[in-house]
Amino acid sequence: MRIARFSTDEGMSFGVVEENTVAAVAAHPFGELTFTGQRYPLADVRLLAPILPSKVIAIGKNYADHAREMGGEPPAEPVIFAKPSTAVIGPGEAVAYPGKLSERVDFEGELAVVIGRMCREVPAARAAEVILGYTCANDVTARDLQQKDGQWTRAKGFDTFCPLGPWIETEVDPSDLAITTTVNGETRQDARTSLLLHDVPALVEYVSQVMTLLPGDVILTGTPAGVGPLEIGDEVTVTIENVGSLTNRVIARD
């Protein structure tokens, strides 16, 4: 099932994408879905970020090749950091390049996990019970500020620096999915989620030992090797097998 958040002239709704239509559901997508009976052609709606999380928890250096391209060895334990909810945008929305503060902004294509219910201290073996589904993410990063600051909040936290979408896929096995990132149609990242150092169940266990996860919270699982800079005018697309494609264009912030 593909759960989308979308807008029409009538307002914002959640819905289920079925072929070329969206069937609207009442309220939120957590728990049993209740359909309103309204159905829209997919081409006639605007897809939004599929969820507005209370927090985005991201994992750094979770692919060995990426850890090495960043100048270090893979960490023994997951490295976690947070992106603010205000960084979230949806498919087709613009990533705003903060040119007054940064001279290098990078793309980082990632598989994102969407939490489906409040939980804490979840054993890895039961992680699937608390996951609503998966979506595509771009952990946009001001690389020069990341290196300058030594910690990552500013570099990762700009408005528009967390594109999510196009929807939440609820029926997919995340253990071995192809993940690619293209910039202006040129492939820059090409990997599989089977190469994750810490897989999805392990990440849910690790993060939920630290903090309570709420419905709609997002865990970014890490980016593979091949990260690189974006320029104003670039179009970046993150595609994950059996999930979908997320495309955003880069514009000047001001």
pLDDT greater than 80 at residue 20: yes
pLDDT band at 174 (very low <50, low <70, confident <90, very high): very high
116 and 130 Cβ atoms separated by less than 8 Å: yes
Give the pLDDT of residue 73.
79
The terminus-to-terminus CA distance of the chain in angstroms comes to: 39
Mean pLDDT over 221-239 rounds to: 97
Pairing of strands 88-89, 235-240: unpaired
pLDDT greater than 90 at residue 254: no
Using CA atoms, how far apart are residues 5 and 13, in angstroms rounded to an integer? 6
Q: What is the pLDDT of residues 70-101, one digit of tens each?
A: 777 788 899 999 999 999 999 999 999 999 99
111 and 174 Cβ atoms separated by less than 8 Å: yes
Cis peptide before 166 (omega within 30 of 0): yes
Closest C-alpha to 222, from 254, 174, 167, 170:
174
Rg, C-alpha atoms of the chain: 17
Q: Quick one: DSSP state of residue 16?
A: E
3-state secondary structure of 206: helix
pLDDT band at 65 (very low <50, low <70, confident <90, very high): confident
Give the pLDDT of residue 76.
87
3-state secondary structure of 102: coil
Q: CA angle, 152 as apex, 176 and 207 as ends, to 5°? A: 50
Using CA atoms, how far apart are residues 100 and 144, in angstroms rounded to an integer? 13
145 and 102 Cβ atoms separated by less than 8 Å: yes
Using CA atoms, how far apart are residues 55 and 52, in angstroms rounded to an integer? 9
Give the pLDDT of residue 78.
94
